[in-house]
Amino acid sequence: MMECQMSRPDPRGVFQGHAVRALAARTLRSYFESPAAYVALFVFYLLTGYLFAAPLFLIKAASLRGLIDFVPLLLAFLVPALTMGLLAEELKSGTFETLATLPLEDWDIVLGKYLGFAALHLVCVAGLLFYVLVLWLCASPAGLDRGEMLGTLLGLALTGLAFGAVGLFTSSLGKNQVVAFVAAFLVCFVLFILGKTAGLLPGGLGTVAAYLGLDAHVENLAKGVLDSRDLVYFASLVFAFLYLTVQRLQTRRF
Amino acid sequence: MILAQNLTKRFGDRTAVDHVSFDIPQGQVVGFLGPNGAGKTTTMRLLTAYLPADEGHAELAGLSVTEQPLAVRRRLGYLPEDNPLWEDLELTEALHFAGRLRGLTDDAARATRVKAVVKSCGLRREIGAKVGELSKGFRQRLGLAAAIIHDPEILILDEPTSGLDPNQVLEVRDLIRELRARKTVLISTHILPEVTATCDRVIIINAGKIVADGTPADLAGDMADKNRLHVELKGPRDDVRQALAGLSGASQVAAGESGASFVVESAAGADLREEVFRMAVRRDWPILSLRQERLSLEEIFRALTRDP
């Protein structure tokens, strides 16, 4: 078994699935072995629960609209807290050297870490389906907009995935997790606020801000409109920051 | 198996590794010595392609480190400085994780390897403990176990015995000795008796440059500027001294520690032992002891790496 591995040609440029899976599984597991994931999940469900329940009882509005305005800001806090240690911790403890001298590409390391976070985040957002279920059971199905609700959840899921890539990048900047957290929060906050300020900016600048900001894209999804441009927006954000992370790891070697 | 040709690495103005060259054949265990900051760790990082060299060329198992880093690393077990480990894992989990990352995807095969390294590194007692709770000695063994989980041909170990107590040092040394038959090993250390006990060859580096390369015995021979022979003869003291001084090649005779002992100095490379023997037989003076002084590795190390 060993032998066939030795003679395997160098699969450069191809992801080494086994290692990506191992890293992702380990990342996900280590979340649950520290209080981090529990605290994050608690805060997330507490606030989303309130945002969901308040309009339901106060103005008898059966929708998830209340979530879309505030939850991205909540994610701008929570996601960096979950990603700040992903690489900074490895760099600090020296285990990065172990990872970096394994037969892996930097992309394998980055992708493994990212997918571990992504799995936690998606599980977290999937938990919001509970609210959909509650509405389904309590409200008259005719009054519910299924596309709107699922679009809202998709918007939150994609927002968190984009923030996660930002957080992974800032975590690669150095050994200090606080720096990683603050830097990630700043970038996420700018993405969050950019769309809201777009109307205040003059002409062309406003259009650019509107495209770069989260708001327009999340709004579209929350309306139940699945536009490939919005999906491309999120995919490019994720790819851009993962790419930057890989570049950063490569410069660490010089 | 491990080839370095003019390896050079600069950090800003400082040249950490300065045109370092050596060639380690298969099956050799080589001690890599040098004071702190001499460039040992950097050289090892160049060999493992963790850092790219500014100049020069490195090959492991005939493969270029920079052109085929993945193929090289598949054949390599590397224990980085300070033995970094994932603290939150349980001992066998840590080994399974290392195995998975190494591509041992088959569960049964991986379990066999984990069992094998747990046994060979004497870790069985600590199964179930978290890595963060292990004592320094067991951490070191775990680091070593993780480095050999894929049964590599080449091992590069950066200070595998640092911070261990003498018993633990012996255990790790035995472990390395067990590996030597099948593997090519480069070990950095500054515990010198360690090297004498485990290594076939010593490379000494100072200020980024290689200052010595050879077997411990060769180095001792090269380094000595004169030969010192300790002689203890039972005979009249003055006669003995005179007779010793009269030997051809003897440049100086000094009184030794006890009454009947002398130190005979001669030019480096000379060996007066046979002459002394014949002279003693002629005069019927029993030889109580006869010892050629050898420079210890400590003395060689100090002489070569002293600050100018």
- In this structure, is residue B304 part of a structural domain? no
pTM across the whole model: 0.84
pLDDT digits (tens, 9 = 90+) for A170-224: 999 999 999 999 999 999 999 999 988 888 888 888 888 888 999 889 989 988 8
- In this structure, is residue A3 part of a structural domain? no
What is the rounded average pLDDT for all residues in chain B? 87
- In this structure, is residue A61 part of a structural domain? yes
Name the domain count of chain B.
2
Residue ending a domain, choose from B221, B239, B260: B221
What integer pLDDT is reported at residue A5 of this predicted model? 40
- In this structure, is residue B108 part of a structural domain? yes
**Nearest by CB: B68 against A10, A21, A98:** A10
What integer pLDDT is reported at residue A12 of this predicted model? 46
| Same domain, yes or no: B185 and B291 | no
- List beta partners, residue B55: B8
- In this structure, is residue A4 part of a structural domain? no
**Nearest by CB: B84 against A97, A103, A105:** A97
Residue ending a domain, choose from B177, B196, B221: B221
**Helices and strands (DSSP H and E) totals, chain B:** 11, 14
- In this structure, is residue A227 part of a structural domain? yes
Q: pLDDT: is B266 or B113 the higher one?
A: B113
| Same domain, yes or no: B240 and B122 | no
| Same domain, yes or no: B39 and B175 | yes
Nearest CA in chain B to A13: B70
Highest mean pLDDT among A138-142, B67-71, B216-220: B67-71
What is the rounded average pLDDT for all residues in chain A? 87
What integer pLDDT is reported at residue A46 of this predicted model? 92
- In this structure, is residue A170 part of a structural domain? yes
* pLDDT-based confidence at residue A142 (cuts at 50, 70, 90): low
pLDDT digits (tens, 9 = 90+) for B50-108: 999 999 999 999 999 989 989 999 999 999 988 999 998 999 999 999 999 998 989 99
Least confident window among A27-31, A87-91, B151-155, B249-253: B249-253
d(CA B238, CA A51) in angstroms, rounded, equals: 106
Interchain pair B82, A94: CB under 8 A: yes
Q: What is the DSSP letter of A14?
A: S
d(CA A196, CA A213) in angstroms, rounded, equals: 8
User: What residues have CB less than 8 Å from B96, skipping those under 6 apart?
Assistant: B110, B111, B114
pLDDT digits (tens, 9 = 90+) for A54-111: 877 777 766 777 788 889 999 999 999 999 999 999 999 999 999 999 999 999 999 9
Nearest CA in chain A to B97: A22
Instruction: Tally the residues of chain B.
Output: 308
A200 touches chain B (CB under 8 A): no
Interchain pair B75, A99: CB under 8 A: no
| Same domain, yes or no: B187 and B284 | no
Q: pLDDT: is B77 or B180 the higher one?
A: B77
Residue ending a domain, choose from B163, B196, B221: B221
A86 touches chain B (CB under 8 A): no
Q: Judge whether B91 and B142 are in contact, CB under 8 Å.
A: yes
Q: Judge whether A185 and A163 are in contact, CB under 8 Å.
A: no
Nearest to A136 by CA among A81, A63, A193: A63
**Nearest by CB: A94 against B84, B100, B146:** B84
Phi-psi region of B113 (alpha: psi -120 to 50; beta: other; left: phi over 0): alpha
Q: Judge whether B26 and B36 are in contact, CB under 8 Å.
A: no
- In this structure, is residue A128 part of a structural domain? yes
- In this structure, is residue B305 part of a structural domain? no
Expressed as residue numbers, the domain containing A185 is 16-251
- In this structure, is residue B212 part of a structural domain? yes
What CATH number did the domain enclosing B255 receive?
A: 3.30.70.100
What integer pLDDT is reported at residue A2 of this predicted model? 38
- In this structure, is residue B261 part of a structural domain? yes
A4 touches chain B (CB under 8 A): no
pLDDT digits (tens, 9 = 90+) for B273-306: 888 899 989 999 999 888 887 777 777 788 788 7
What CATH number did the domain enclosing B24 receive?
A: 3.40.50.300
Q: Judge whether B86 and A23 are in contact, CB under 8 Å.
A: no
d(CA B139, CA B126) in angstroms, rounded, equals: 10
A16 touches chain B (CB under 8 A): yes
- In this structure, is residue B307 part of a structural domain? no
- The H or E element spanning position A47 is helix A35-58
Q: Count the neighbouring beta carbons within 10 Å of the beta carbon of residue B70.
A: 19
3-state DSSP call for residue B63?
strand
| Same domain, yes or no: B214 and B233 | no
ipTM of the complex: 0.84
What integer pLDDT is reported at residue A4 of this predicted model? 38
Name the domain count of chain A.
1
- pLDDT for B9 beyond 80: yes
Interchain pair B103, A5: CB under 8 A: yes
Q: pLDDT: is A245 or B170 the higher one?
A: A245
Interchain pair A11, B97: CB under 8 A: no
Q: Count the neighbouring beta carbons within 10 Å of the beta carbon of residue B256.
A: 15
User: What residues have CB less than 8 Å from B266, skipping those under 6 apart?
Assistant: B226, B227, B229, B249, B250, B251, B272
Q: What is the 3-state secondary structure (H, E, C) of A143-191?
A: HCCHHHHHHHHHHHHHHHHHHHHHHHHHHCCCCCHHHHHHHHHHHHHHH
- pLDDT for B308 beyond 60: no
Expressed as residue numbers, the domain containing B252 is 225-298
* pLDDT-based confidence at residue A6 (cuts at 50, 70, 90): very low
Place of tokens 């255990």: B171
Q: Judge whether B118 and B95 are in contact, CB under 8 Å.
A: yes
| Same domain, yes or no: B154 and B230 | no
- Residue B32 half-sphere exposure toward CB, CA atoms < 13 A: 29
* pLDDT-based confidence at residue A140 (cuts at 50, 70, 90): low
| Same domain, yes or no: B26 and B139 | yes
What integer pLDDT is reported at residue B307 of this predicted model? 65
For the residues B102-125, what does the mean pLDDT come to? 91
A7 touches chain B (CB under 8 A): no
- In this structure, is residue B303 part of a structural domain? no
- pLDDT for A240 beyond 90: yes
**Nearest by CB: B48 against A1, A30, A101:** A101
Q: Judge whether B284 and B266 are in contact, CB under 8 Å.
A: no
